[in-house]
Chain A
Amino acid sequence: MCWFINDDDAFMEPHNDIISTALVVIGFVVFAAIVSEAYLTFDENSFALDNYRQASMIAKDIAEYPGIQGSRTDLISAEALDMISVPAKDREMHEMFFHRFSGNVDFYVEINTNDKEHQWMIRRDRSNDPERDIIAASVPVVIELGSGACCVPGTLTVRIWKNRWI
C-alpha cells in the first residue's frame, strides 16, 4: 500500500481513465444483470400467482361438481371417482367431467385421503409434457367410501401445466 501511495514514477497515472471507465462498465453490467434478474423473478412469481388463482378456482369448482357428489352435496363419492379416474371405466362420464373446461388449460386432478390409503388421478387422455412447470392448488374435501357408511377427510389437488404459448 505504501509503495502504491509513494510511487513517484507515475506509471499508472496515464491509465487512470481507462481503469475508472472499466470499473464503471463492470458496475453497469452488474446493475443491468441485477435489474433483469429481478424482473424475471417478478414475472415468474406473478405467472405463478395468476395460475395458482386459476388452479384454486378449478379445484373449488371440481369439489362442488354434481357429477362426483356423494349422498350429500359436501361429500365426494369414491364410486364416482373410481369411474372417471385413470383408467376411466365410464368414458362418457369422464368426457363430461372435462367438457366444461377449455382445452387450453392443461391440468389433472389428484384426490387422496389424508391417511394415503386411497388415491385417484383424473386426467385428460392426451399426453402431457412432464418437463413443463406445474402450478398446484389444493382444497380439503370429504370422501364418501362405499355406500355412505364411511366418510374420510382428504385433499383434492389440481395441477396445471404451464401453457406452451404463453
Chain B
Amino acid sequence: MRIKEKAGVHTHNDPSDNGRLHFSYDTGGWIDLILSKTALMIASIIILAALYHLSAELQHADKQRQLDTIAQEFRSAIDSAGQSPCSISSANISYFFGTYTGNGQFAGQMNASVSGEYVKISYEEQDRALHAFKPLAYRTIPLNENMLRNELLDRFSASGEVSDPIRQPFTYPCVTDFIRSLGTKEIDLNMSGKVHITKALIYIQNESEVRELEYVLVYQ
C-alpha cells in the first residue's frame, strides 16, 4: 500500500530537522506499520499479563474457598457439640484435620487456632498469607476441663461442678465475665493431632437457686 503524496514541495536546509521531516513526510507507510505493530505487541503483552494475573488470582480464590471449607467444618464440629445435651455422646467429639494436611494444593504451612469467639485457619506460602475465620455459635473456651476447673478454683475457691458450685459472694455476671476472659486468648492447634471437643457445665449457687452454665471446651 502506498499513501498518496501530499501536494506541494518542501525544501529544508537545516540538517537537524531531517529526522522529523522524514517522519512527517514519509510516504512509504513504514512508520504507520511500525507504530501499529508496536501498539499491537504492547497490547498483547498487557493482555497476557492480565490473563496470567487473573489465573493467579483465581488460584488464590480457590485456596481461600478451601480454607473457608476447612474452617466451616471445624466450626460445625464445635457447634454440634454445643448443640448436644451434655449427657449424650455427640457432646464429646474427637476431630481430625488429617484429610487436609498433606494435600497437594497446600504445600506450604497451614495453621489452625481457636479462641472463645472464632476458629481460624491460616495458610502461608511465599510472600502471601490467607486466613479463614468463622464465628462460633456457642460459648467456647480453648481449655481442657482440668485447666478450667483449676482456674475456677483459683478464682472462686470452687470448681463449679455440681458437687462444688460457685457460691456467694461471687455473682453470676462476675463468673461469666471471668470465664469470658479465659476464652479471649487464641490457642494454636496442631493440625496433625486429634482435637477434643467436649461440653462442660458450671454451676453457680445463689441462695437456694442453682444455675447451670454450658460451655464448649476445645483442646488437644
Interface residues of B (CB under 8 A from A): 1, 29, 32-33, 36-37, 39-40, 43-44, 47, 50-51, 54, 58, 61, 65, 68, 72, 76, 79-80, 82-83, 116-118, 133-140, 176, 211, 213-214
Interface residues of A (CB under 8 A from B): 10, 13-15, 17-18, 21, 24-25, 28, 32, 35, 39, 43, 46, 50, 53-54, 57-58, 60-61, 96, 99-105, 163, 165-166
Main SS of the interface on chain B? helix
Closest 9 CB pairs of A and B: A104-B135, A21-B43, A17-B40, A17-B36, A104-B117, A61-B83, A105-B137, A102-B136, A100-B214
B117 A103 Cβ-Cβ under 8 A: yes
5 other contacts beyond A13-B1, A57-B80, A99-B213, with CB at 8 A cut-off? A18-B36, A25-B47, A35-B58, A57-B137, A105-B135
| Chain B positions within 8 Å of A165 at CB level | 133
Main SS of the interface on chain A? helix
CB-nearest residue of chain A to B176 = A99
Q: A28-B50, A32-B50, A99-B176 are in contact. Are A17 and B137 (CB under 8 A)?
A: no
B137 A25 Cβ-Cβ under 8 A: no
Q: Report the bound CA distance from A60 to B83 in whole Å.
A: 9
